Every structure is written in C-alpha cells, then in structure tokens.
Amino acid sequence: MNAPFKSLLLFVVLLLFICSCKQNTKTEHLPPNKKLISFKSKLAFTSDDLDKLDTNLYKKIISNRFNKETDTIRYSKGKIYISYLKATSGCSEYVGDIKFNKDTLKLLLNNASDTVCSERNVCRVIYEIENKRNKSYLIEKD
C-alpha cells in the first residue's frame, strides 16, 4: 500500500470512531399517560435554603412517604390532585408522568435533559390526574 492510501484509510477509520462516540444530547421520553391532565414543577427551596432546613423537615422531604405537613392528595369529582416536595438536581428540568398498576398509582418524575450536577434543590411537583370513576388508589412517589 502506498502512503497516501494508508493516510486516507487512517483518516476514515478515525472519523468513523469519532462519529460513533458522539452521544445524543436530547433525551426522548414517551408521551405521558393520557390520564395525566397537567404537571407542574416549581422551585421551593434552593440548595442554600436546604442547608438551613430543620433536619426533621429535610427527612420528610426526601422520604418516599407522603407527609401531611408538606404534601397534599385530594380526590375531587373525576380528578386527583397531588402536590408534594421532592429533592431534585439543581440544573435539570423534569417531566411528570404516571403509571397505573391495579390499585396503585405511581407518580413518575423524569429528567427532561441530560444535564446533571451536584447542586440539590427542592421542587414542589404538582399532578392533576383524570379519575372519572372516582377510584381510590395507593399512591407511590417515584
């Protein structure tokens, strides 16, 4: 093989390697469950605020259980309203979703971007869910 051909071959191999290593920066999610009427997420405590929180309150926020002091579950005609505090990554945006499994309703909080950082914030996440049969569910946080 002559030198120009070897150089071209090496260039093509390197180019293919570099292209195959690129990561998709856009995170794609399936469309949310059709019974999810709305989802909102808003900042409740910054990382600086977290440092000042009472230890018991912080434990309630990071718990997988609902807390009567900080969280709300309300059944109304044809809808379920759920609001709770959730520790999240400070540089991420979130998309809500829900999943039903028999008598259980699982609240999902999906990261809408690939951005991750060490900063922790607390957001209030709010779900409004269609419940035409006015059925009671065991509700689980993600």
Tens of pLDDT, residue by residue over 20-46, are 443 444 445 578 899 999 999 999 999
Q: In what order do the strands lie in the sheet with 104-111?
A: 94-101, 104-111, 138-140
Closest CA to 50 of 129, 122, 139: 122
Encoding tokens for residue 52? 């000042």
Q: What is the pTM of this model?
A: 0.76
Q: Parallel, antiparallel, or unpaired for β 94-101 and 72-76? A: unpaired
pLDDT tens digit string along 61-71? Answer: 888 899 998 99
Closest CA to 125 of 68, 61, 79: 61
| DSSP label at residue 47 | H
The one-digit pLDDT tens for each residue of the chain (142 residues) are 566 656 555 555 554 445 444 344 444 557 889 999 999 999 999 989 988 888 888 888 888 899 998 999 999 999 999 999 999 888 888 899 999 999 999 999 998 877 778 888 999 999 999 999 999 999 999 8
